[in-house]
Structure formats: C-alpha cells, structure tokens
Structure 1
Amino acid sequence: MASISSLGIGSGLDLNGLLDQLRSAEREKLAPITQQQRSYQSKISAYGQLESSLSQFQDAAAKLNNAEFFQGVTSEVTGSAVTAAGGSDAAPGRYDIEVTQLARAQSLAADGIDDATRSLNSAGTLTLSVGTGADTTIDIAADSSLEDVRDSINASGAGIQASIVNDGDAANPYRLVLTSEATGTESEMNVSFSDTTSDLGALLSYDSAGGTGGSMTQSVAAKDAALSVNGIAISSQSNTVEGAVQGVTLSLTETGTATLAVERDNGAVESAVKGFVDSYNKLQTKMADLTRFNAETGDAGELLGDSTLRSVESQLRNVLGGDTGDGTFQMLSDVGISLQVDGSLELDEEALGDAVSNDLAALSEFFTGADEAGGMAGQVDSVLGRMLEEGGVVANSTQGLEDTIERLGERYTRTEENINDTIARYRTQFAQLDSMIANMNSTSSYLTQQFDNMNAQLGRK
C-alpha cells in the first residue's frame, strides 16, 4: 500500500492535501468538547475565588467570636523602672509603682588554683542543690580538671551556671564561680563533695543554712525584688512579677518609679468590627463580579445564574439580617451596621464607637453569644463552615464540575480515536484510488500506443 507521502503520484491528484482537509474537518468535532472543558474549568476557578473570599470573611467573623478578645487591654508605662504586659483579665486603672530593689541570683566563688587544665586528683561525687529543690549528683573522675568540673556542672541541669574567672593572682588566679539560674532568697545554693580531704573537696563546699559555711565565698548575695504598687509593699523572688496588678505581668528593669495605665483596647474591637464589615463587602464585590453581565458587550461572569452562588448569597443575607435573641443588641443595625439593598454592609462608626465605649459587655454578648454558635459572629462562622467544609455546597459544586470535565476528557479521547480511524480509512481508500487511476492511466497509454502502431502499419499516418 502506498504511504501518505506517495499519495497522488499514480493519479496526479493532490490526495495528501485532500486528506489534510478531511482531517481538519473531522477534528472540528473536538472543538465543542474543548470549549465545554474550558467553560467548566473557568467555573472551577471562579468557585476557588468564591471559596477564598468566603474563608477571609469567616476569619473576620471568627475573630469576633471570642469573648476574651473583647476583654483585651492596652497598657502604657511612664518611667523606665518596669515594663508591662496585660492579659484579658487585667483590671483597667492607674497604678503608681516604685521599685526599691531588684531580685538577684546568688553567686559563690571558690579559692583559686594555679592551672584550670591540670588534674585535681579528686575522685568522688559532687552534690548541688538550689533552695529546697532536689539534689543533683555529679560523678567526678580522678583526672578531672577545673574545666572538666565546670563543664560537668553546666551539663547536669542542676539550675546552676558554672564559669572560671581569672582574678589576676600571681600564684592561683583560676577560680570556679557558681551562679544560681534563679533569683531570690529561696534559690540559694548548697555545694558539697564526697571526698572532703581531696583538692576538690577543699575547694567546693557551701551550706546556705550555715550562712558562710564552707570553703566557698558568697560573692553576690541572693535578694528578693522589693516594690510597691499604689503604696502596697510587695516582695518577689523574681524580677518578673505576676499578681501585683491583676492580669498584668510586670518586668522590673531598674530601681525607680513608674506609672502604669491599663485601659480596655477599644480600638482593637472597633478595628475587628470594621474588618468584619470590610471583609463581607469584599466578598459581596467578588460575588457581583462573578455574576456580572454587560448587555452591550455580552461580557458575563463565570457564575452568572449559578445556583450555588445564589444559595450562598441567600444564606448570608438570612444570617446577617437575623437576630441573636435576647440582649441589649439583637441585630447588626443595633450596633451601627446596616444591610444595604445591593447586599453590602454599611458601618456607622459613631454608633459603633458609642457601643464600644459605653456597652462593651453587651457588644461582646451580641457577637459571641452564650456559646460558639450563639452570637452573630458564631452564626456567621457556622453558616460559612457548612459552606466550606468537605461535602459543603462549594466543594460539592466544584467536585461535580471536576467529574464532568473528567467525563468530557473520556469523550474527547473516544472522539479522537474515531477521527483517527476515519482518517486511516480515508487514507486506505485514497491509496486504492491512486493505484486504480495509475493502472487505468497505464492501460490507456498502452492502448494508445497500440492504436498508433496499427495506424502506422495501415498507412493511416
């Protein structure tokens, strides 16, 4: 059988060109399938945009569905003696603070030796404790140096930091210094070595109960922090003080005075409510874009007339236009948020500011309710959660389109196979036609030659 490249040689016809035209015509059957696939893919992309906008609105609603958020405070410190961090249970007010003493950690220093790297020839058990805490025991090998002892203490987790100080003494400059990792008088250290007659035993011993007991010298005494808040004296083991001001953690930085002002963070609440409104309006703008239609140009949104989007719009309107039951505020309009004819929300900032300043508890109750799904924010979050969850309206619509695209892909493959079969059949038929015409042309030439010879013999030429 002749190949495609040889089609038309025998007949002189442009059979290759004709076959290409037939192939192009047959492949037009694939165009509607491709167009449908693109259309459905565009809708899937549109659902993705809708889902993203819904998720952002859900985040904004979830922020308001937390009663502790409405109890947030801001703290401002005047003076450098303290810094402060307020929690949700902080009591608003003004507090005068005076720091008269910072908490200190105890430090103990051993007598010096000539070389921190030489063997101390002391085998035994080093016992350390901080305050009333449990003892930490460390096995010391006979050939350990002062540096080895330091490293063993630091690796033991005893709550004690060891270091070696060179005090410049001509004969014995290297001294082991132990510092408690915790501050306060309840974190004094106890140190002992099992072999008290050894070199290390002579260096390391201290009994906090005995005051100066032991061979080590107390270089820094443990101290509690001392401060007053509004004239009330307070003592603390640490420079981080909790409870001196309700819900506020004070960090003492130096002795001196400071003034702490704690106020409700009304600005954060107003900002969150504005974020709720802005996020919904962005969602509304996105939905309007996805359902747009321009009668003059014919431009249309990917979800124009889509039942899923209509369902989303309807559910959101219902929840935003509903009420939360009993309470000072029952509807969005009560807190300065009104639902417009075009579906957007409009915020009356003055009304919201009045609600935040004068009735924050009622505003919190309106948005948060008695449980996670009770208030306005909870109801919105629940509705959006059902829309966005696996098996929800958006996911189901997206999955339905993906299934349809998959079926169209299978249809495309079958149609393409049929087209290839048809073109193959045309190719076979053209090859046969080409061969038949070539044979006919050959026969015609032979007969013409014979007739010409016959006429020449008969003298007719």
Structure 2
Amino acid sequence: MASITSLGIGSGLDLNGLLDQLKEAEEEKLVPILKQQETQQTKISAYGQLQSALSTFQDAADALNDSTLYESLSTNVDGEAITATADGEAQPGSYNVIVDTLATRGTLASDGVTAADEAITTADQTLTLNFADGSTQEIDIASGSTLEDIRDTINATEGSGVNATIVNDGTNFRLALSSSETGADESINNFSFDGAAPFAADTANTRQLGTDAALTVNGIDITSSTNQVEGAIQGVTLNLQEEGESTVNVEQNTLKVREAVTGFVNAYNDLKDKIGDLTSFNSETGEAGELLGDSAVRTVESRMRIALSSGSDGQFSVLSDIGISLKRDGQLEIDSDELDNAIVNNQGALSEFFAGGSDETGMAGQINTTIEQLLSSNGRVSGAITGAENRKASLVEQYARTEQSIESTMSRYRTQFGQLDGMIAQMNQTSSYLTQQFDALDAQLGRD
C-alpha cells in the first residue's frame, strides 16, 4: 500500500477537517469538568469569605472578653498647660495642675573661628565637657581636625551629653552645644582642651543654664528635670506643654468600652451581611449566592444564634438588658441610651456579662469558643473548605485523564483515517489502471 504523508492527498477527501470536527466533539467532554472545577473554586473562595468574617467577629468578641477593659481609666484635661495619660495604677480623681516653669536644656557656644572647614588642631588632644552637676565627659579630638570634624566627633560619641551644631554669627563660625537632656543638673556648663585650645567657651555671653520644671498639683510643689512628669499623680503621666493652669480628671474609660461593644455589634452585623450575600437568590434573574442551601452556613447561623441568646445569672442576663436587641432580619441593633446607662453606671455587671469569671464563662468567651470550634482543623467550616479542595483536586485528575483519553482516541482516528486514505488511493489507482486497459482493449477491437 502506498505511504500517505498528508491525510486526504490520496483519497481527495477532507479528512483533516473531519478529524478537527471529531476532536471538537471529543473535547466537549471536558466542559462539564471545567464547570465543576469553577464551582468548587467559587465555593472555596466563598468559604474563605465566611471564615474571614467569623475571625473578625471573634476578634471583636475577644476585646470584650478582657476584664481589664472595664477597669481602664482615661484622663480628661481642661486647659492647655498639660496633656495626661493614665495607666492601670491610676485612681479616679480630679487634680488642679499649675505649671510655673518648663524644663529647658542648657546651651553654650564657643568663640568664633574664621572657617568651619579648615584644620584648627595641631595635635591629638582631649575635649572635656563640664556639666552643672559636676560630672564631665571626655572626647578625643584628632590632630588636623576642622570645626566640622569636632562637631561630628562630639555627635558620634555615645553619651556625650550634648548635641553639637555650627552657627555663623555673621563674622565667624562658632561651635554651639545644647544639652541632650533638660534640667538644671544636665546643663552644659563649660568645656576645655588639654592642649593648645583651637577656641574657648564663650561662657560670659552664650551660656544659658538649663532649668527644672516647676509645678504644683493640688497646691503641692513639684520639680522635675523633664517635662514628662511621672509619679506626681499615681498612675498618671503629665506632659507639660506651657506655663499655665489645667485640671486633670481621671475617670472610667467609658469611651473605650463603648467602642468595644459597638465593634462587637458591627462585626456580627457584617458577618450576617456576608452570610446573606453568600446565600442570596434573585428570583428575577435566577442568580444564586455561592453557598445557597449550604449545610456549613446553616450550622454557623445556628451556632451563632445560640451563642447570642445564651444568658447569665448576673444583673445583666441577656443582650437586651444592655440595650442590644436582635431585629427580624437577624441583625443586632443598639439602643444608645440603654447601653450608655450600663457603661456609665455598672461596668462591673457589664464585665461579668461579657467576660465572666474566666475566659469561657461570659458571653464573649462562649462566642469565642464557638467560633474556635467552627474554624478548627476539624471544625464545620474548615471541613467544608477541605471537602471543596479535595473535590477540586479530584476534578483536576479527572480532567487530565479525560484529556489523555481524548488524545488516545484522536490518535486512533488518525491511524484509521490514514489507512482509509491509503485504501482509497490504491482503489483509485486500480480504477485508473483498469480504465486504461479497457480503453486500450476497445481501441484494439475497433481496429480488428
């Protein structure tokens, strides 16, 4: 049989076109598998959104599950002289603060030199800085140093006690020193060189000694080397801003508690909205949410309803006791007046309701436990994600097997079509030969 190098040449038939049509028909087997893969990927993404919303709600519940939240204090300052912050040791109270003097840094400048970038030392020597409390700091200065070099050496020396800059007074350049810390004792007082001094300290004209802050708290005199005063009021840090008078009120931090409760309600409502989106159905368009009718979502909703409706034996037993109600659409709603009343007047009962006596006994703790169970490696949500991922992996394998089957089928078709092409070509050759022989015979008979 003659060898056929291109389908259809021997037979004259469009066998390649026929093969293409057969391949398109075979590849239709892949379409439903791809659609199922997309469906599983969509579900995985949807479960991830549900997981994220649950985690956010869990974080909001955790904030309410901390008993120290209901013990925290805040400072309210009337006046511009100070700002203040309170820590866990502070006690409620009101304090009158009068700032008489702010703490300042000591400053000192040198005599002038004609150029800042020309060498002014002829040998290695030591610069000694003298401070108001009698302490000193020695700094090694290299031979051939310029004023800029001396500045840089001082600033590079750890614990020098000063910051150095260069000031041009219009005629000469001066080394200007400023104490690193405020206060009288930390003030730069003088400096000297142990060798030939390139310049001297201008103590007569430029020395300004640092000062301590002076203030009174409820009439009690207080001094501080810094403008951040700690310990004058137990658990309160005063930051002095200017001379003047301010009143500091230390009180329960109702704002922080309200923000935590509001954050809890908003996070739950966001979770409810997300579930609504994932399980929605539009009757007009026929479009459905990715998890419509999903059993994992129904489990989440059921567990959340149980956790939110659980009660306690304290003064506040259910959410409605503190002004939080469950609406018909499943969202939580806050009655601001009732909630503010609970926060302002009974944070102890509020703490017992949300935080309880341990991490698991209050409502927030119970919600946290429920979500942990749902999101754990063997929980309902994680199990749903794992199931969807396994189904997708199985479909990927099925797609690969189907592709191999299609390729095998097409290879068989190519072989069969090649054989058909060869057979038809041979038949055409035989037909042509016989025709020629009959024509020759007819011609011979006609001559006879």
TM-score after normalising by structure 2 = 0.84
Question: Residues 174 and 418 from structure 1, CA distance in 2 versus in 1: closer, same or farther, beyond 3 angstroms?
Answer: closer
Larger deviation, residues 236-245 vs 141-150: 141-150
Question: Residues 135 and 405 from structure 1, CA distance in 2 versus in 1: closer, same or farther, beyond 3 angstroms?
Answer: farther
Which residue of the partner structure matches residue 395 of structure 2? 408
Which residue of the partner structure matches residue 291 of structure 1? 279
Q: CA deviation at 1:45?
A: 1.3
Cα shift readout 1:403-441 (whole Å, capped 9, x = no counterpart): 322222122112111111111111211221122123223
Which residue of the partner structure matches residue 431 of structure 1? 418
Q: CA deviation at 1:249?
A: 2.7
Contact 1:240 1:250 (8 Å CA) reproduced: yes
Cα shift readout 1:48-90 (whole Å, capped 9, x = no counterpart): 2112222222232233233444445554444332233444655
Contact 1:162 1:176 (8 Å CA) reproduced: yes
Q: Partners in 2 of 1:82 and 1:396 — Cα distance?
A: 56
User: Partner letter of residue 35 of structure 1?
Assistant: K
1:48 corresponds to 2:45: no
Which residue of the partner structure matches residue 294 of structure 2? 306
1:104 corresponds to 2:91: no
1:397 corresponds to 2:384: yes
Cα shift readout 1:241-278 (whole Å, capped 9, x = no counterpart): 22334443322222222334444443443233222112
| Count of residues paired in the alignment | 444
Which residue of the partner structure matches residue 210 of structure 1? none
Q: CA deviation at 1:319?
A: 2.2
1:274 corresponds to 2:276: no
Question: Residues 242 and 28 from structure 1, CA distance in 2 versus in 1: closer, same or farther, beyond 3 angstroms?
Answer: same
Q: CA deviation at 1:39?
A: 1.2
Q: Partners in 1 of 2:428 and 2:119 — Cα distance?
A: 114
**Counterpart secondary structure, 2:96:** strand
Which residue of the partner structure matches residue 159 of structure 1? 161
Contact 2:265 2:333 (8 Å CA) reproduced: yes
Which residue of the partner structure matches residue 182 of structure 1? 181
Which residue of the partner structure matches residue 4 of structure 2? 2
User: Partner letter of residue 404 of structure 1?
Assistant: R
Contact 2:188 2:209 (8 Å CA) reproduced: no
Which residue of the partner structure matches residue 252 of structure 1? 240
Structure 2 unmatched ranges of 5 or more: none
1:446 corresponds to 2:433: yes
Q: Partners in 2 of 1:115 and 1:278 — Cα distance?
A: 66
User: Partner letter of residue 222 of structure 2?
Assistant: I
User: Partner letter of residue 39 of structure 1?
Assistant: T
Question: Residues 79 and 122 from structure 1, CA distance in 2 versus in 1: closer, same or farther, beyond 3 angstroms?
Answer: farther
Q: CA deviation at 1:386?
A: 4.2
Q: CA deviation at 1:128?
A: 4.0
Q: CA deviation at 1:36?
A: 1.4
Larger deviation, residues 280-289 vs 241-250: 241-250
Q: Partners in 2 of 1:376 and 1:134 — Cα distance?
A: 60
Contact 1:192 1:201 (8 Å CA) reproduced: no
Contact 2:189 2:207 (8 Å CA) reproduced: no
Give identity over the alignment, percent: 51
Q: CA deviation at 1:283?
A: 1.0
Q: What RMSD over aligned residues (CA atoms) do the two structures have, in Å?
A: 3.5
User: Partner letter of residue 351 of structure 1?
Assistant: E
Which residue of the partner structure matches residue 126 of structure 1? 127
Q: Partners in 2 of 1:46 and 1:352 — Cα distance?
A: 34
Q: CA deviation at 1:40?
A: 0.7
Question: Residues 371 and 11 from structure 1, CA distance in 2 versus in 1: closer, same or farther, beyond 3 angstroms?
Answer: same
Contact 2:100 2:243 (8 Å CA) reproduced: yes
Q: Partners in 2 of 1:234 and 1:225 — Cα distance?
A: 8
Contact 1:127 1:193 (8 Å CA) reproduced: yes
Which residue of the partner structure matches residue 338 of structure 2? 351
Q: CA deviation at 1:312?
A: 2.3
Q: Partners in 1 of 2:306 and 2:217 — Cα distance?
A: 52
Q: Partners in 1 of 2:12 and 2:123 — Cα distance?
A: 111
Q: Partners in 2 of 1:459 and 1:422 — Cα distance?
A: 55
Contact 1:122 1:200 (8 Å CA) reproduced: no
Which residue of the partner structure matches residue 303 of structure 2? 315
Contact 1:110 1:216 (8 Å CA) reproduced: no
Larger deviation, residues 96-105 vs 287-296: 287-296
User: Partner letter of residue 274 of structure 1?
Assistant: T
Structure 1 unmatched ranges of 5 or more: 206-214
Cα shift readout 1:127-151 (whole Å, capped 9, x = no counterpart): 4465779854322334445544333
Aligned partner (choices 371, 377, 381) of residue 384 of structure 1: 371
Larger deviation, residues 429-438 vs 106-115: 106-115
**Counterpart secondary structure, 1:80:** coil
Q: Partners in 1 of 2:9 and 2:111 — Cα distance?
A: 112
TM-score after normalising by structure 1 = 0.82
Which residue of the partner structure matches residue 23 of structure 2? 23
Aligned partner (choices 352, 356, 368) of residue 355 of structure 2: 368
1:223 corresponds to 2:211: yes
Question: Residues 366 and 186 from structure 1, CA distance in 2 versus in 1: closer, same or farther, beyond 3 angstroms?
Answer: farther
Q: CA deviation at 1:450?
A: 3.2
Which residue of the partner structure matches residue 323 of structure 2? 336
Q: Partners in 2 of 1:371 and 1:129 — Cα distance?
A: 58
Question: Residues 109 and 296 from structure 1, CA distance in 2 versus in 1: closer, same or farther, beyond 3 angstroms?
Answer: closer
Contact 1:46 1:290 (8 Å CA) reproduced: yes
Contact 1:94 1:262 (8 Å CA) reproduced: yes
Question: Residues 140 and 407 from structure 1, CA distance in 2 versus in 1: closer, same or farther, beyond 3 angstroms?
Answer: same
User: Partner letter of residue 442 of structure 1?
Assistant: Q
Q: CA deviation at 1:233?
A: 2.1
**Counterpart secondary structure, 1:161:** strand
Q: CA deviation at 1:287?
A: 1.4
Aligned partner (choices 196, 205, 208) of residue 199 of structure 1: 196
Contact 1:109 1:216 (8 Å CA) reproduced: no
Q: CA deviation at 1:320?
A: 2.0
Contact 2:121 2:142 (8 Å CA) reproduced: no
